[in-house]
Structure 1
Amino acid sequence: MQRKLGFLFLLIFTFSASFSQSKIEKSETSLKKQKNNASTSTKRSHNLNNDNDSFGEMLVIETFGRLAINIIAYTAYGILVEMPFERDSPSSSAILTKHPYLNSNKGNYSYEWNDYSAVGRTTISSRYVFENTQLNGNHVNVDIRFYNRLALELDYLQLWENNPNFGYQTLAIYTALIKYHRIRTKQFDGWWGLGASYVDGNVDDFGFSLGLGAELFLGKPISIEANYNQTFINNNAINKFTALMNYYNRPFKLSGGYQSLKIGDQIFSTPTIGLSVSF
Protein backbone atom coordinates (compact mmCIF):
# COMPACT_ATOMS: atom_id res chain seq x y z
CA MET A 1 0.00 0.00 0.00
CA GLN A 2 2.81 2.40 0.90
CA ARG A 3 4.56 1.63 -2.40
CA LYS A 4 1.39 2.46 -4.34
CA LEU A 5 0.97 5.75 -2.47
CA GLY A 6 4.62 6.62 -3.04
CA PHE A 7 4.32 5.89 -6.75
CA LEU A 8 1.13 7.99 -6.93
CA PHE A 9 2.81 10.98 -5.25
CA LEU A 10 5.80 10.66 -7.59
CA LEU A 11 3.51 10.62 -10.62
CA ILE A 12 1.62 13.71 -9.43
CA PHE A 13 4.89 15.55 -8.74
CA THR A 14 6.27 14.73 -12.19
CA PHE A 15 3.05 15.80 -13.90
CA SER A 16 2.87 19.10 -12.03
CA ALA A 17 6.56 19.85 -12.66
CA SER A 18 6.05 19.57 -16.40
CA PHE A 19 3.51 22.41 -16.19
CA SER A 20 5.43 24.55 -13.72
CA GLN A 21 6.53 27.09 -16.33
CA SER A 22 4.76 29.96 -18.01
CA LYS A 23 4.56 30.15 -21.79
CA ILE A 24 7.38 32.70 -21.98
CA GLU A 25 9.55 30.56 -19.69
CA LYS A 26 8.94 27.53 -21.91
CA SER A 27 9.98 29.45 -25.02
CA GLU A 28 13.18 30.64 -23.32
CA THR A 29 13.94 27.13 -22.07
CA SER A 30 13.52 25.63 -25.54
CA LEU A 31 15.98 28.15 -27.01
CA LYS A 32 18.53 27.57 -24.25
CA LYS A 33 18.07 23.79 -24.30
CA GLN A 34 19.20 23.59 -27.89
CA LYS A 35 22.34 25.50 -26.95
CA ASN A 36 23.22 23.20 -24.07
CA ASN A 37 22.47 20.01 -25.97
CA ALA A 38 24.14 21.00 -29.21
CA SER A 39 25.96 18.04 -30.58
CA THR A 40 29.61 18.28 -31.41
CA SER A 41 30.69 17.33 -34.87
CA THR A 42 33.51 14.90 -35.47
CA LYS A 43 36.05 15.22 -38.18
CA ARG A 44 37.36 12.38 -40.22
CA SER A 45 40.54 12.52 -42.17
CA HIS A 46 40.63 11.24 -45.69
CA ASN A 47 43.62 10.51 -47.78
CA LEU A 48 43.20 11.75 -51.30
CA ASN A 49 45.09 10.04 -54.05
CA ASN A 50 45.42 12.24 -57.08
CA ASP A 51 48.05 10.18 -58.84
CA ASN A 52 45.57 9.02 -61.48
CA ASP A 53 44.19 12.49 -62.23
CA SER A 54 45.23 13.63 -65.62
CA PHE A 55 45.77 17.21 -66.68
CA GLY A 56 42.77 16.99 -69.02
CA GLU A 57 40.42 15.87 -66.26
CA MET A 58 41.56 18.71 -64.02
CA LEU A 59 41.05 21.21 -66.83
CA VAL A 60 37.51 19.98 -67.50
CA ILE A 61 36.62 20.08 -63.81
CA GLU A 62 38.01 23.60 -63.41
CA THR A 63 36.27 24.88 -66.55
CA PHE A 64 32.85 23.47 -65.70
CA GLY A 65 33.27 24.47 -62.05
CA ARG A 66 33.86 28.09 -62.98
CA LEU A 67 30.96 27.99 -65.44
CA ALA A 68 28.62 26.62 -62.77
CA ILE A 69 29.73 29.30 -60.28
CA ASN A 70 29.17 32.07 -62.85
CA ILE A 71 25.70 30.76 -63.73
CA ILE A 72 24.71 30.53 -60.06
CA ALA A 73 26.06 34.02 -59.32
CA TYR A 74 24.34 35.52 -62.37
CA THR A 75 21.02 33.86 -61.50
CA ALA A 76 21.22 34.88 -57.84
CA TYR A 77 21.95 38.50 -58.80
CA GLY A 78 19.02 38.55 -61.19
CA ILE A 79 16.60 37.11 -58.64
CA LEU A 80 17.75 39.17 -55.66
CA VAL A 81 18.75 42.46 -57.30
CA GLU A 82 17.70 42.98 -60.93
CA MET A 83 17.34 41.09 -64.20
CA PRO A 84 18.96 42.61 -67.32
CA PHE A 85 15.60 43.15 -69.04
CA GLU A 86 14.35 45.13 -66.02
CA ARG A 87 16.90 47.91 -66.45
CA ASP A 88 14.79 49.61 -69.12
CA SER A 89 11.53 49.35 -67.17
CA PRO A 90 10.15 52.33 -65.20
CA SER A 91 10.37 50.39 -61.94
CA SER A 92 14.16 50.19 -62.23
CA SER A 93 14.41 53.94 -61.62
CA ALA A 94 11.33 54.24 -59.41
CA ILE A 95 11.48 57.13 -56.94
CA LEU A 96 10.44 56.98 -53.30
CA THR A 97 7.40 59.03 -52.28
CA LYS A 98 7.11 61.06 -49.07
CA HIS A 99 4.36 58.69 -48.00
CA PRO A 100 1.74 56.55 -49.79
CA TYR A 101 -1.37 58.12 -51.30
CA LEU A 102 -0.01 61.63 -50.83
CA ASN A 103 -1.37 62.97 -54.11
CA SER A 104 -2.83 60.01 -56.00
CA ASN A 105 -3.20 56.24 -55.91
CA LYS A 106 0.56 55.78 -55.88
CA GLY A 107 2.05 53.74 -53.04
CA ASN A 108 5.68 53.88 -51.94
CA TYR A 109 7.00 54.66 -55.43
CA SER A 110 6.35 56.85 -58.45
CA TYR A 111 8.07 56.95 -61.83
CA GLU A 112 8.86 60.67 -61.98
CA TRP A 113 10.43 63.21 -59.65
CA ASN A 114 8.02 65.84 -58.34
CA ASP A 115 7.04 67.73 -55.20
CA TYR A 116 5.84 64.50 -53.60
CA SER A 117 9.12 62.61 -54.06
CA ALA A 118 11.63 61.97 -51.28
CA VAL A 119 15.34 61.21 -51.05
CA GLY A 120 14.72 59.27 -47.86
CA ARG A 121 11.91 58.48 -45.46
CA THR A 122 11.60 57.33 -41.86
CA THR A 123 8.56 55.46 -40.55
CA ILE A 124 8.00 54.81 -36.85
CA SER A 125 5.29 52.38 -35.84
CA SER A 126 3.98 50.93 -32.61
CA ARG A 127 1.62 47.95 -32.50
CA TYR A 128 -0.06 46.36 -29.51
CA VAL A 129 -0.25 42.54 -29.56
CA PHE A 130 -2.32 40.38 -27.24
CA GLU A 131 -3.07 36.68 -26.96
CA ASN A 132 -5.28 36.75 -23.86
CA THR A 133 -5.77 38.72 -20.65
CA GLN A 134 -2.56 37.26 -19.22
CA LEU A 135 -0.20 37.63 -22.21
CA ASN A 136 0.31 40.77 -24.28
CA GLY A 137 3.08 42.90 -25.69
CA ASN A 138 4.21 45.80 -27.83
CA HIS A 139 5.95 45.87 -31.20
CA VAL A 140 8.00 49.00 -32.01
CA ASN A 141 9.52 49.36 -35.47
CA VAL A 142 11.71 52.04 -37.09
CA ASP A 143 12.15 51.81 -40.86
CA ILE A 144 14.70 54.18 -42.43
CA ARG A 145 14.61 54.18 -46.24
CA PHE A 146 17.26 55.74 -48.48
CA TYR A 147 18.55 55.62 -52.08
CA ASN A 148 15.10 54.39 -53.24
CA ARG A 149 16.07 50.72 -52.89
CA LEU A 150 17.69 50.36 -49.46
CA ALA A 151 16.41 50.52 -45.90
CA LEU A 152 17.52 49.92 -42.33
CA GLU A 153 14.88 48.35 -40.09
CA LEU A 154 15.16 48.34 -36.29
CA ASP A 155 12.57 46.21 -34.52
CA TYR A 156 11.78 45.73 -30.84
CA LEU A 157 9.28 43.16 -29.59
CA GLN A 158 8.41 43.05 -25.89
CA LEU A 159 6.14 40.38 -24.40
CA TRP A 160 4.64 40.38 -20.90
CA GLU A 161 2.94 37.46 -19.20
CA ASN A 162 1.21 37.81 -15.84
CA ASN A 163 0.05 34.35 -14.84
CA PRO A 164 -1.30 33.87 -11.30
CA ASN A 165 0.26 30.39 -11.21
CA PHE A 166 3.75 31.29 -12.48
CA GLY A 167 4.18 34.98 -11.68
CA TYR A 168 5.28 37.83 -13.93
CA GLN A 169 7.52 37.03 -16.94
CA THR A 170 8.96 39.15 -19.76
CA LEU A 171 10.76 38.47 -23.03
CA ALA A 172 12.37 40.98 -25.40
CA ILE A 173 13.64 40.44 -28.96
CA TYR A 174 15.71 43.09 -30.78
CA THR A 175 16.21 42.80 -34.55
CA ALA A 176 18.19 44.85 -37.08
CA LEU A 177 17.85 44.24 -40.84
CA ILE A 178 19.43 45.75 -43.93
CA LYS A 179 16.64 45.60 -46.52
CA TYR A 180 16.67 45.70 -50.30
CA HIS A 181 13.40 46.65 -51.99
CA ARG A 182 13.44 44.27 -54.94
CA ILE A 183 10.06 45.11 -56.52
CA ARG A 184 9.21 48.80 -56.81
CA THR A 185 6.02 49.76 -58.64
CA LYS A 186 3.24 52.26 -57.99
CA GLN A 187 0.97 49.57 -56.53
CA PHE A 188 3.38 46.97 -55.15
CA ASP A 189 6.50 47.01 -52.97
CA GLY A 190 8.44 43.82 -52.18
CA TRP A 191 11.66 43.47 -50.18
CA TRP A 192 14.10 41.03 -48.59
CA GLY A 193 16.63 41.62 -45.84
CA LEU A 194 19.48 40.19 -43.78
CA GLY A 195 20.58 41.02 -40.27
CA ALA A 196 20.78 39.85 -36.67
CA SER A 197 18.59 39.49 -33.59
CA TYR A 198 19.26 39.52 -29.87
CA VAL A 199 17.02 37.68 -27.41
CA ASP A 200 17.09 39.20 -23.94
CA GLY A 201 16.20 37.60 -20.63
CA ASN A 202 17.31 34.10 -19.76
CA VAL A 203 18.38 33.36 -23.35
CA ASP A 204 20.81 36.32 -23.66
CA ASP A 205 22.14 35.40 -27.11
CA PHE A 206 22.41 36.59 -30.72
CA GLY A 207 21.22 34.93 -33.92
CA PHE A 208 21.27 35.43 -37.70
CA SER A 209 18.04 36.85 -39.16
CA LEU A 210 16.46 37.06 -42.58
CA GLY A 211 13.24 38.72 -43.64
CA LEU A 212 10.75 39.03 -46.49
CA GLY A 213 7.91 41.47 -46.93
CA ALA A 214 5.44 42.95 -49.39
CA GLU A 215 2.73 45.60 -49.50
CA LEU A 216 -0.05 45.84 -52.08
CA PHE A 217 -1.76 49.21 -52.50
CA LEU A 218 -5.38 48.49 -53.41
CA GLY A 219 -6.44 52.10 -53.83
CA LYS A 220 -6.55 55.20 -51.68
CA PRO A 221 -6.42 54.86 -48.66
CA ILE A 222 -6.15 51.04 -48.22
CA SER A 223 -3.27 48.56 -48.51
CA ILE A 224 -2.57 45.01 -47.36
CA GLU A 225 0.83 44.02 -46.01
CA ALA A 226 2.61 40.78 -45.08
CA ASN A 227 6.00 40.35 -43.40
CA TYR A 228 8.00 37.29 -42.38
CA ASN A 229 11.13 37.18 -40.24
CA GLN A 230 13.17 34.17 -39.14
CA THR A 231 16.03 34.11 -36.64
CA PHE A 232 18.33 31.13 -36.15
CA ILE A 233 19.59 30.85 -32.60
CA ASN A 234 21.11 27.90 -30.69
CA ASN A 235 20.04 25.33 -33.31
CA ASN A 236 16.47 26.56 -33.02
CA ALA A 237 14.44 29.34 -34.61
CA ILE A 238 12.20 32.31 -33.92
CA ASN A 239 9.56 32.85 -36.61
CA LYS A 240 7.48 36.01 -36.91
CA PHE A 241 4.68 36.36 -39.46
CA THR A 242 2.48 39.43 -39.68
CA ALA A 243 -0.53 40.12 -41.92
CA LEU A 244 -1.96 43.65 -41.79
CA MET A 245 -4.58 45.84 -43.39
CA ASN A 246 -3.51 49.49 -43.45
CA TYR A 247 -5.49 52.72 -43.60
CA TYR A 248 -3.48 55.78 -44.69
CA ASN A 249 -4.27 59.36 -43.75
CA ARG A 250 -1.42 61.61 -44.94
CA PRO A 251 1.70 60.80 -42.85
CA PHE A 252 -0.25 58.49 -40.51
CA LYS A 253 -1.14 54.84 -40.94
CA LEU A 254 -3.60 52.83 -38.86
CA SER A 255 -2.94 49.08 -38.99
CA GLY A 256 -4.82 46.04 -37.79
CA GLY A 257 -4.33 42.35 -38.35
CA TYR A 258 -2.74 39.17 -37.08
CA GLN A 259 0.73 38.23 -35.86
CA SER A 260 2.02 34.70 -35.35
CA LEU A 261 5.13 34.09 -33.25
CA LYS A 262 6.95 30.80 -32.85
CA ILE A 263 9.66 31.15 -30.24
CA GLY A 264 11.46 27.85 -29.80
CA ASP A 265 8.69 25.29 -29.41
CA GLN A 266 6.05 27.78 -28.23
CA ILE A 267 3.48 29.41 -30.55
CA PHE A 268 1.91 32.80 -29.80
CA SER A 269 -1.13 33.76 -31.91
CA THR A 270 -1.87 37.43 -31.39
CA PRO A 271 -4.24 39.96 -32.93
CA THR A 272 -2.51 43.31 -33.36
CA ILE A 273 -3.43 46.96 -33.84
CA GLY A 274 -1.18 49.98 -34.15
CA LEU A 275 -0.32 53.41 -35.51
CA SER A 276 2.56 54.64 -37.72
CA VAL A 277 3.89 58.01 -38.78
CA SER A 278 6.22 58.82 -41.70
CA PHE A 279 8.45 61.85 -42.16
Structure 2
Amino acid sequence: MKKTLFVLITILTLNSLFSQKIDKSKSELKSGNSSRSSSSGSSRSSSSNDFGLAGLFVEGFLYVSFYSTIGDYRSENHLYNSLSKYPYFDGESGNFRNDNDSIQYGNLMRFDVENHFLYSNNNIFGNHLKAKFRPFQYFYVQADYRELLEKNIFTNRFSNLSLFQFNVAYDRIRFKKFNLGWTLGATYVGNDVQKVGFSYGLHTDIFAIKNISFNSAMMWSKINGLPVNSFELRGKYHKKNYFFSLGYEHLKIASPNYNFITVGAGIYF
Protein backbone atom coordinates (compact mmCIF):
# COMPACT_ATOMS: atom_id res chain seq x y z
CA MET A 1 0.00 0.00 0.00
CA LYS A 2 2.79 2.40 0.94
CA LYS A 3 4.64 1.50 -2.25
CA THR A 4 1.55 2.17 -4.36
CA LEU A 5 0.98 5.49 -2.60
CA PHE A 6 4.62 6.43 -3.15
CA VAL A 7 4.34 5.64 -6.88
CA LEU A 8 1.17 7.74 -7.20
CA ILE A 9 2.75 10.67 -5.38
CA THR A 10 5.86 10.38 -7.59
CA ILE A 11 3.76 10.35 -10.75
CA LEU A 12 1.73 13.36 -9.62
CA THR A 13 4.91 15.21 -8.65
CA LEU A 14 6.57 14.49 -12.00
CA ASN A 15 3.42 15.48 -13.83
CA SER A 16 3.47 18.77 -11.94
CA LEU A 17 7.17 19.35 -12.59
CA PHE A 18 6.80 18.57 -16.29
CA SER A 19 3.35 20.09 -16.62
CA GLN A 20 2.43 21.77 -19.84
CA LYS A 21 4.08 25.18 -20.12
CA ILE A 22 1.52 26.13 -22.75
CA ASP A 23 -1.40 25.24 -20.48
CA LYS A 24 0.23 27.27 -17.71
CA SER A 25 0.64 30.30 -19.98
CA LYS A 26 -2.97 30.15 -21.07
CA SER A 27 -4.28 29.62 -17.55
CA GLU A 28 -2.31 32.58 -16.18
CA LEU A 29 -3.37 34.87 -19.03
CA LYS A 30 -7.01 34.01 -18.42
CA SER A 31 -6.85 34.59 -14.67
CA GLY A 32 -4.58 37.64 -14.84
CA ASN A 33 -2.03 38.93 -12.37
CA SER A 34 -3.70 38.54 -9.00
CA SER A 35 -0.75 40.12 -7.23
CA ARG A 36 -1.22 43.50 -8.91
CA SER A 37 -1.58 46.40 -6.53
CA SER A 38 -4.63 48.64 -6.87
CA SER A 39 -2.58 51.79 -6.44
CA SER A 40 -1.34 53.54 -9.56
CA GLY A 41 2.17 53.87 -8.12
CA SER A 42 2.43 50.12 -7.58
CA SER A 43 1.07 49.52 -11.04
CA ARG A 44 3.78 51.66 -12.59
CA SER A 45 6.42 49.91 -10.53
CA SER A 46 5.11 46.50 -11.58
CA SER A 47 5.14 47.56 -15.21
CA SER A 48 8.78 48.61 -14.97
CA ASN A 49 9.72 45.33 -13.32
CA ASP A 50 7.89 43.24 -15.90
CA PHE A 51 9.48 44.92 -18.88
CA GLY A 52 12.90 45.49 -17.39
CA LEU A 53 15.58 47.91 -18.53
CA ALA A 54 15.04 47.12 -22.22
CA GLY A 55 11.35 47.93 -21.92
CA LEU A 56 12.14 51.26 -20.28
CA PHE A 57 14.59 52.01 -23.08
CA VAL A 58 11.88 51.36 -25.67
CA GLU A 59 9.41 53.55 -23.82
CA GLY A 60 11.99 56.32 -23.83
CA PHE A 61 12.78 55.71 -27.49
CA LEU A 62 9.12 55.98 -28.46
CA TYR A 63 8.13 58.97 -26.34
CA VAL A 64 11.21 61.15 -25.96
CA SER A 65 10.54 63.35 -28.99
CA PHE A 66 9.18 63.52 -32.48
CA TYR A 67 12.74 63.80 -33.79
CA SER A 68 13.96 60.55 -32.25
CA THR A 69 10.99 58.51 -33.47
CA ILE A 70 10.22 60.09 -36.87
CA GLY A 71 13.31 62.02 -37.88
CA ASP A 72 14.04 65.31 -39.56
CA TYR A 73 13.20 65.05 -43.25
CA ARG A 74 14.76 68.46 -43.89
CA SER A 75 18.28 67.37 -43.01
CA GLU A 76 18.42 63.55 -42.99
CA ASN A 77 18.81 62.43 -46.59
CA HIS A 78 18.72 58.73 -45.71
CA LEU A 79 15.01 59.08 -44.88
CA TYR A 80 14.38 59.47 -48.63
CA ASN A 81 16.27 56.33 -49.62
CA SER A 82 14.09 54.17 -51.83
CA LEU A 83 12.80 50.72 -51.05
CA SER A 84 14.82 48.03 -52.82
CA LYS A 85 13.28 45.28 -54.94
CA TYR A 86 14.74 42.79 -52.50
CA PRO A 87 17.99 42.64 -50.46
CA TYR A 88 21.14 42.42 -52.60
CA PHE A 89 19.20 42.85 -55.85
CA ASP A 90 22.11 45.02 -57.01
CA GLY A 91 24.77 43.10 -55.08
CA GLU A 92 25.08 45.62 -52.24
CA SER A 93 21.81 47.23 -51.10
CA GLY A 94 19.73 45.89 -48.22
CA ASN A 95 16.11 46.91 -47.69
CA PHE A 96 16.90 50.40 -48.98
CA ARG A 97 18.99 51.89 -51.75
CA ASN A 98 20.39 55.40 -52.23
CA ASP A 99 18.41 57.63 -54.56
CA ASN A 100 21.64 58.61 -56.35
CA ASP A 101 22.62 55.02 -57.17
CA SER A 102 23.19 54.27 -60.83
CA ILE A 103 20.45 51.62 -61.00
CA GLN A 104 17.13 53.40 -61.33
CA TYR A 105 13.57 52.15 -61.27
CA GLY A 106 10.14 53.53 -60.45
CA ASN A 107 8.34 53.66 -57.13
CA LEU A 108 8.01 50.20 -55.61
CA MET A 109 5.84 48.41 -53.18
CA ARG A 110 6.98 45.11 -51.72
CA PHE A 111 5.42 42.11 -50.02
CA ASP A 112 7.71 40.01 -47.80
CA VAL A 113 6.67 36.56 -46.58
CA GLU A 114 8.72 34.27 -44.35
CA ASN A 115 8.10 31.12 -42.39
CA HIS A 116 10.17 29.56 -39.61
CA PHE A 117 9.97 26.19 -37.88
CA LEU A 118 10.51 26.53 -34.12
CA TYR A 119 12.17 23.73 -32.18
CA SER A 120 12.81 23.60 -28.43
CA ASN A 121 12.81 19.86 -27.76
CA ASN A 122 10.88 16.77 -28.81
CA ASN A 123 7.93 17.92 -26.72
CA ILE A 124 7.77 21.64 -27.55
CA PHE A 125 7.89 23.03 -31.08
CA GLY A 126 5.96 25.36 -33.32
CA ASN A 127 5.78 27.55 -36.40
CA HIS A 128 6.16 31.29 -37.03
CA LEU A 129 4.63 32.87 -40.14
CA LYS A 130 5.45 36.53 -40.80
CA ALA A 131 4.22 38.89 -43.53
CA LYS A 132 5.19 42.50 -44.24
CA PHE A 133 3.40 44.78 -46.69
CA ARG A 134 5.54 47.75 -47.75
CA PRO A 135 3.54 50.26 -49.86
CA PHE A 136 6.65 52.51 -50.02
CA GLN A 137 9.78 53.24 -48.01
CA TYR A 138 8.12 55.30 -45.28
CA PHE A 139 6.36 52.64 -43.22
CA TYR A 140 4.94 49.13 -43.49
CA VAL A 141 2.45 46.87 -41.78
CA GLN A 142 3.48 43.53 -40.29
CA ALA A 143 1.56 40.47 -39.12
CA ASP A 144 3.04 37.57 -37.14
CA TYR A 145 1.33 34.27 -36.41
CA ARG A 146 2.94 31.74 -34.08
CA GLU A 147 1.42 28.36 -33.36
CA LEU A 148 3.07 26.56 -30.44
CA LEU A 149 2.58 22.86 -29.70
CA GLU A 150 3.51 20.88 -26.63
CA LYS A 151 3.22 17.14 -26.07
CA ASN A 152 2.31 15.83 -22.63
CA ILE A 153 4.80 13.07 -21.86
CA PHE A 154 2.24 11.22 -19.72
CA THR A 155 -0.88 11.39 -21.91
CA ASN A 156 0.75 11.88 -25.37
CA ARG A 157 -1.83 14.60 -26.01
CA PHE A 158 -0.91 17.98 -27.46
CA SER A 159 -1.66 21.45 -26.14
CA ASN A 160 -1.47 24.42 -28.49
CA LEU A 161 -1.26 28.18 -28.21
CA SER A 162 -1.99 30.66 -31.02
CA LEU A 163 -0.18 34.00 -30.77
CA PHE A 164 -0.90 36.86 -33.21
CA GLN A 165 0.89 40.20 -33.50
CA PHE A 166 -0.32 43.05 -35.73
CA ASN A 167 1.89 46.13 -36.05
CA VAL A 168 2.64 49.29 -37.96
CA ALA A 169 6.42 49.50 -38.40
CA TYR A 170 8.63 52.50 -39.14
CA ASP A 171 12.32 52.48 -40.02
CA ARG A 172 13.87 55.47 -38.28
CA ILE A 173 17.22 54.80 -40.00
CA ARG A 174 17.26 53.72 -43.69
CA PHE A 175 20.80 53.12 -44.89
CA LYS A 176 21.85 50.67 -47.59
CA LYS A 177 23.60 48.37 -45.12
CA PHE A 178 21.60 49.04 -41.99
CA ASN A 179 18.07 49.90 -40.92
CA LEU A 180 16.64 50.43 -37.45
CA GLY A 181 13.08 51.15 -36.43
CA TRP A 182 10.14 50.63 -34.12
CA THR A 183 6.75 48.95 -34.13
CA LEU A 184 3.40 49.79 -32.56
CA GLY A 185 0.36 47.55 -32.56
CA ALA A 186 -1.45 44.78 -30.74
CA THR A 187 -0.87 41.24 -29.53
CA TYR A 188 -3.68 38.70 -29.42
CA VAL A 189 -3.71 35.25 -27.84
CA GLY A 190 -6.36 32.96 -29.26
CA ASN A 191 -7.59 29.53 -28.19
CA ASP A 192 -9.62 29.76 -24.98
CA VAL A 193 -7.76 32.91 -23.83
CA GLN A 194 -9.04 35.31 -26.51
CA LYS A 195 -7.47 38.46 -25.08
CA VAL A 196 -5.62 41.36 -26.68
CA GLY A 197 -3.01 43.85 -25.47
CA PHE A 198 -1.04 46.85 -26.74
CA SER A 199 2.44 46.08 -28.09
CA TYR A 200 5.59 48.00 -29.01
CA GLY A 201 9.08 47.05 -30.06
CA LEU A 202 12.33 47.58 -31.93
CA HIS A 203 13.79 45.90 -35.01
CA THR A 204 17.00 46.10 -37.02
CA ASP A 205 18.61 44.57 -40.12
CA ILE A 206 22.34 44.52 -40.86
CA PHE A 207 23.60 43.68 -44.36
CA ALA A 208 27.21 43.08 -43.48
CA ILE A 209 28.46 40.57 -46.05
CA LYS A 210 27.37 39.95 -49.63
CA ASN A 211 24.18 37.83 -49.67
CA ILE A 212 24.19 37.51 -45.87
CA SER A 213 22.23 39.62 -43.40
CA PHE A 214 21.40 39.59 -39.70
CA ASN A 215 18.04 40.52 -38.27
CA SER A 216 16.77 41.06 -34.73
CA ALA A 217 13.41 42.12 -33.34
CA MET A 218 12.09 42.69 -29.84
CA MET A 219 8.45 43.16 -28.93
CA TRP A 220 6.79 43.81 -25.59
CA SER A 221 3.12 43.60 -24.67
CA LYS A 222 0.85 42.89 -21.73
CA ILE A 223 -2.31 40.85 -21.65
CA ASN A 224 -4.41 40.84 -18.50
CA GLY A 225 -1.49 42.40 -16.63
CA LEU A 226 1.02 39.71 -17.64
CA PRO A 227 3.91 39.94 -20.15
CA VAL A 228 3.69 38.50 -23.64
CA ASN A 229 7.11 39.33 -25.06
CA SER A 230 9.16 38.08 -28.00
CA PHE A 231 12.78 38.30 -29.13
CA GLU A 232 14.16 37.14 -32.50
CA LEU A 233 17.72 36.86 -33.80
CA ARG A 234 18.43 35.43 -37.26
CA GLY A 235 21.04 35.10 -39.93
CA LYS A 236 19.80 35.00 -43.53
CA TYR A 237 21.38 33.85 -46.77
CA HIS A 238 19.85 35.67 -49.74
CA LYS A 239 19.55 34.21 -53.21
CA LYS A 240 17.76 36.38 -55.76
CA ASN A 241 14.34 37.27 -54.28
CA TYR A 242 14.28 34.56 -51.60
CA PHE A 243 16.33 33.60 -48.56
CA PHE A 244 17.07 30.82 -46.09
CA SER A 245 17.51 31.47 -42.38
CA LEU A 246 18.83 30.04 -39.15
CA GLY A 247 18.15 31.69 -35.82
CA TYR A 248 16.83 31.83 -32.29
CA GLU A 249 13.56 32.97 -30.72
CA HIS A 250 12.72 33.62 -27.09
CA LEU A 251 9.13 34.03 -25.90
CA LYS A 252 7.82 34.95 -22.48
CA ILE A 253 4.11 34.23 -22.21
CA ALA A 254 2.93 34.98 -18.66
CA SER A 255 5.48 33.31 -16.32
CA PRO A 256 6.75 30.49 -18.64
CA ASN A 257 9.71 31.14 -20.93
CA TYR A 258 10.20 29.44 -24.30
CA ASN A 259 13.48 29.12 -26.21
CA PHE A 260 13.59 27.92 -29.81
CA ILE A 261 16.11 27.23 -32.53
CA THR A 262 14.58 28.32 -35.84
CA VAL A 263 15.02 27.20 -39.44
CA GLY A 264 13.12 28.92 -42.21
CA ALA A 265 12.85 30.56 -45.60
CA GLY A 266 11.26 33.61 -47.16
CA ILE A 267 10.44 35.31 -50.42
CA TYR A 268 10.02 38.91 -51.63
CA PHE A 269 7.27 39.81 -54.10
**What's the TM-score once normalised by structure 1's chain length?**
0.78
Aligned partner (choices 95, 98, 103) of residue 111 of structure 1: 98
CA–CA distance in structure 2, aligned partners of residues 204 and 137 of structure 1: 19
Shift of 1:116: 5.1
1:102 corresponding residue in structure 2: 89
Q: Deviations over 1:192-238 (max 9, x none)?
A: 01101110123221111112100010131011111111121111111
Aligned partner (choices 204, 223, 241) of residue 194 of structure 2: 204
1:277 corresponding residue in structure 2: 267
Contact kept in structure 2, 1:214 and 1:227, CA below 8 Å: yes
* Paired letter, 2:19: Q
* Paired letter, 2:153: P
Answer with 108-117 or 139-148: which moved more: 108-117
Q: Deviations over 1:180-200 (max 9, x none)?
A: 111100110111011011101
Aligned partner (choices 220, 228, 231) of residue 238 of structure 1: 228
Q: Deviations over 1:97-127 (max 9, x none)?
A: 1101001311111122744565211100000
The 3 A distance-change label for structure 1 pair 156 and 120 is: same
SS of match in other structure, 1:98: coil
Residues 1-279 of structure 1: pairs in structure 2 closer than 5 A: 15=13, 18-19=16-17, 21-34=19-32, 37=34, 41=38, 76-83=65-72, 87-112=74-99, 114-115=103-104, 118-166=107-155, 167-279=157-269
Larger Rg: 1
CA–CA distance in structure 2, aligned partners of residues 75 and 130 of structure 1: 38
Q: CA RMSD in A?
A: 2.8
CA–CA distance in structure 2, aligned partners of residues 201 and 105 of structure 1: 44
* Paired letter, 2:27: T
Identity over aligned residues, as a percent? 28
Runs of 4 or more off by more than 2 Å in structure 1?
7-21, 37-43, 86-90, 113-119
Figure out how many residues of one structure are paired with residues of the other and give that number.
244
Unaligned runs of 5+ in 1: 44-72
The 3 A distance-change label for structure 1 pair 125 and 203 is: same
Contact kept in structure 2, 1:123 and 1:143, CA below 8 Å: yes
Answer with 13-22 or 129-138: which moved more: 13-22
* Paired letter, 1:30: E
**What's the TM-score once normalised by structure 2's chain length?**
0.81
The 3 A distance-change label for structure 1 pair 127 and 92 is: same
Contact kept in structure 2, 1:149 and 1:182, CA below 8 Å: no
The 3 A distance-change label for structure 1 pair 38 and 104 is: same
Contact kept in structure 2, 1:102 and 1:116, CA below 8 Å: no
CA–CA distance in structure 2, aligned partners of residues 215 and 192 of structure 1: 12
The 3 A distance-change label for structure 1 pair 11 and 192 is: same
The 3 A distance-change label for structure 1 pair 17 and 118 is: same
Shift of 1:249: 0.6
CA–CA distance in structure 1, aligned partners of residues 150 and 105 of structure 2: 44
The 3 A distance-change label for structure 1 pair 23 and 39 is: closer
Shift of 1:32: 2.2
Contact kept in structure 1, 2:112 and 2:133, CA below 8 Å: yes
